[in-house]
Structure 1
Amino acid sequence: MSNRTLLSLELATPEDDEKPVYLAGNFCDWYPDLTEFEMEKVGKGKYRFNFSPDKNLPEKIEYKYTRGGWDFVELDSYGNSPANRVITKKQGSIKDYVPFWREDGSTASITQLMPKVQVVSESFTIPQLGTTRAIHILLPSDYEQNTDKRYPVLYMQDAQNLYGEGSDYGNWEIDKRLSLLAKQGKGDVIIVAIDHGDKDRFKEYSPYTVEKKGKGMGMKYANFIVRTLKPYIDKNYRTKPEAQFTGIGGSSMGGLISLYAGLMYPETIGRMMVFSPSLWVSTKIYFDITEFFSPINTKIYLYAGGKESGAMIPGVKKIKETIESQHWSTDKVDVKLSLDSRGEHTEKRWGEEFAKAIAWLFY
């Protein structure tokens, strides 16, 4: 019999049903549903597990909580899978909290706080480009009840990949993530989701001419958002129209055009969500920062992943460095750089970053 004092884990979670909760960790080869490591339910949403004093535990204990499998693993307050929990001591009581759980492989959501998706138009006219585009709007869950309330707005590119069933390329699941933000009091943002132009996507999102791809129409596209779409949204929905409540966001080519639009129209767009921008299109974006950008009250959230391309993280770092080299005060421009050495160029990864960016940009 060992003389080691008992190590116990105490878990609290808002979820309270009949599903059992298990420990999975480096002490059980990370099996997510072993009966030996099922926790005892001791109250409403409260569980406890006592390690046997005879259990041979590693020096550093790593673990996670599951509800019977990796498709039902714990999630953090943004709906993302957290890093492994770590314990270095082998005695005493550890208190943990799990705000959300993955459900059958999907991001957690709160049904009553899901945004209401409406069609703005299936064929909204873009006079600057001589074409039309489907545009949807995601309204906060309380929009229809709080008729005196006004909301910030984020204009997002590549709507097909953002919510609902997503597309063949993937899904950010922003509708689910907004419901989790709403639970924290950070979901009061209107999302205007603009479909991309399919075969015209590259040239519409590119502000620059690229050999073999032709002349970019990004300048006209940015003008459309600022001069045509935003006035329409402000007229027909209860928005906060000022620049500090108006954002633009996207990833890859959508990240590039979002950055460009924010640089060109700082008097209208004061918040930028720029994920994995396609900086390879042209180095002129750095010139545009130094020559044309004149921030007023701007916040820029930059994200890049280490498994996208060798140039992605250095390029995004250079964006931040170029902005900071202009020596504007933080009252005029504030830049947050989020880097993930293991981040891939995927809709799923951008969705994981979305809630963190919303919280930083608007709250």
Structure 2
Amino acid sequence: MERGKIEERSLYSEALQQEVSLLVYLPATYSPLYKYSLLIASDGKDYFQLGRISRVVDELLHEEEIENLIVVGVPYENVKDRRSKYHPNGDQNKAYMRFLAQELVPYLDEQFPTYQIGMGRGLIGDSLAATVSLMTACSYPHTFGKVILHSPYVNDAVLKTVKNTSATHFSIDHVIGLDETAVATGDGVEKNFLEDNRELSTLFEDKGFTYRYEEQSGGHTWKTWQKDMNRAILMNYTK
């Protein structure tokens, strides 16, 4: 089986006032003659290295089980940078969301033969990266049509954003680990992610999103999320 390639690129962001590194996965059969859906991953390096997302996509494409897909990873620089951009109260949170929707998407649409419609673009993330993916989709619902959430961090700001969004047409895939009842956070406190995600799930149901929710065995680690990668990609990008 041929493997796709991962290109390292960079894009200067006016919103963030900095150069942003990108990891772009192109399938082995990539051709500008075909159209491609996009999946953008915050915690981008983690999704490639720990989640093995490119291998999963390679295998599913080889078996002809999913549509043509380009995966774009946006890595964080360090823990402080990650919190600043991904946390709802982070200094660069809104700027990072603007970068994803207003700078990265136009760049990718220009560079690659994408569908250039909301349902052709997805966001994926784990923990805080899931949080910023969800909040970006709520803030730019016509830009992104799918969100895949692995154990998102939930606080009042997240719940408020979901409650206030007027869009209900994008789809959400949401998983949480049953052992995520005492997760250490960057605030130095333990948080019950399972309870918080159950509250978020109820809100999603009330809003009427196209929605899938699952509580899986495992904790707040990549060991849990990696095991879900095949299912998540297959269910959201099946032909």
Shift in Å, 1:343: 1.2
The match for 1:338 among 210, 214, 218 is 214
CA distance in 2, matches of 1:313, 1:133: 32
Give, as a single letter, the amino acid of the residue that structure 2 aligns with 1:137. Answer: V
Alpha-carbon displacement from aligned partner over 1:198-225 (angstroms, at most 9, x marks no partner): 13110111122xxxxxx44211111101
Give, as a single letter, the amino acid of the residue that structure 1 aligns with 2:18. Answer: T
Question: 1:99: which partner in 2?
Answer: none
The match for 1:174 among 49, 53, 61 is 53
Give, as a single letter, the amino acid of the residue that structure 1 aligns with 2:17. Answer: G
Alpha carbons 2:88, 2:157 under 8 Å: kept = no
Question: 1:303: which partner in 2?
Answer: 175
The match for 2:71 among 168, 178, 191 is 191
Please state whether the residue corresponding to 1:162 is helix, strand or coil. Answer: helix
Alpha carbons 1:181, 1:187 under 8 Å: kept = no
Alpha carbons 2:168, 2:210 under 8 Å: kept = no
CA distance in 1, matches of 2:224, 2:52: 11
Alpha carbons 1:133, 1:197 under 8 Å: kept = no
CA distance in 1, matches of 2:16, 2:223: 30
Shift in Å, 1:277: 0.8
Alpha-carbon displacement from aligned partner over 1:41-65 (angstroms, at most 9, x marks no partner): xxxxxxxxxxxxxxxxxxxxxxxxx
CA distance in 1, matches of 2:226, 2:109: 26
Residue 117 in 1 paired to residue 6 in 2? Answer: yes
- List structure 1 segments (4+ residues) > 3 angstroms apart after TM superposition: none
Please state whether the residue corresponding to 1:207 is helix, strand or coil. Answer: coil
The match for 2:85 among 192, 201, 204 is 204
Q: How many pairs were matched up?
A: 227
Comparing 351-360 with 221-230, which one deviates more in the overlay?
351-360
Question: 2:159: which partner in 1?
Answer: 286
The match for 1:263 among 138, 142, 146 is 138
CA distance in 2, matches of 1:183, 1:162: 20
Question: 1:218: which partner in 2?
Answer: 93
Residue 254 in 1 paired to residue 139 in 2? Answer: no
Residue 143 in 1 paired to residue 63 in 2? Answer: no
Shift in Å, 1:359: 1.7
Q: Percent identity?
A: 21
Question: 1:127: which partner in 2?
Answer: 14
Give, as a single letter, the amino acid of the residue that structure 1 aligns with 2:171. Answer: K
Alpha-carbon displacement from aligned partner over 1:54-111 (angstroms, at most 9, x marks no partner): xxxxxxxxxxxxxxxxxxxxxxxxxxxxxxxxxxxxxxxxxxxxxxxxxxxxxxxxx4
Alpha-carbon displacement from aligned partner over 1:123-159 (angstroms, at most 9, x marks no partner): x212112222210100112113xx3211100110112
The alpha-carbon distance between structure 1 residues 293 and 196, as it changes in their structure 2 partners (threshold 3 A), is farther
CA distance in 2, matches of 1:315, 1:140: 37
Question: 1:320: which partner in 2?
Answer: 201
Shift in Å, 1:187: 5.7
Alpha carbons 1:255, 1:278 under 8 Å: kept = yes
**Structure 2 spans left out of the alignment, 5+ residues:** 183-191
Shift in Å, 1:188: 2.1
CA distance in 2, matches of 1:345, 1:231: 33
Please state whether the residue corresponding to 1:219 is helix, strand or coil. Answer: helix
CA distance in 2, matches of 1:293, 1:260: 13
Residue 350 in 1 paired to residue 225 in 2? Answer: yes
Alpha carbons 1:160, 1:195 under 8 Å: kept = yes
The alpha-carbon distance between structure 1 residues 125 and 352, as it changes in their structure 2 partners (threshold 3 A), is same
Alpha carbons 1:155, 1:247 under 8 Å: kept = yes
The alpha-carbon distance between structure 1 residues 318 and 184, as it changes in their structure 2 partners (threshold 3 A), is farther
Question: 2:40: which partner in 1?
Answer: 155
* Mapping 1:55-74, distance limit 5 Å: none
Alpha carbons 1:140, 1:187 under 8 Å: kept = no
Alpha-carbon displacement from aligned partner over 1:284-333 (angstroms, at most 9, x marks no partner): 2112112124123x11010100222352222222222112223x3xxxx3
Give, as a single letter, the amino acid of the residue that structure 1 aligns with 2:203. Answer: T
Shift in Å, 1:189: 1.1
CA distance in 2, matches of 1:178, 1:323: 28
Q: CA RMSD in A?
A: 1.6
Question: 2:185: which partner in 1?
Answer: none
Alpha carbons 1:274, 1:301 under 8 Å: kept = yes
Alpha carbons 1:275, 1:303 under 8 Å: kept = yes
Shift in Å, 1:120: 2.3
Q: Normalising by structure 1, what TM-score?
A: 0.60
Q: Normalising by structure 2, what TM-score?
A: 0.89
**Structure 1 spans left out of the alignment, 5+ residues:** 1-110, 209-214
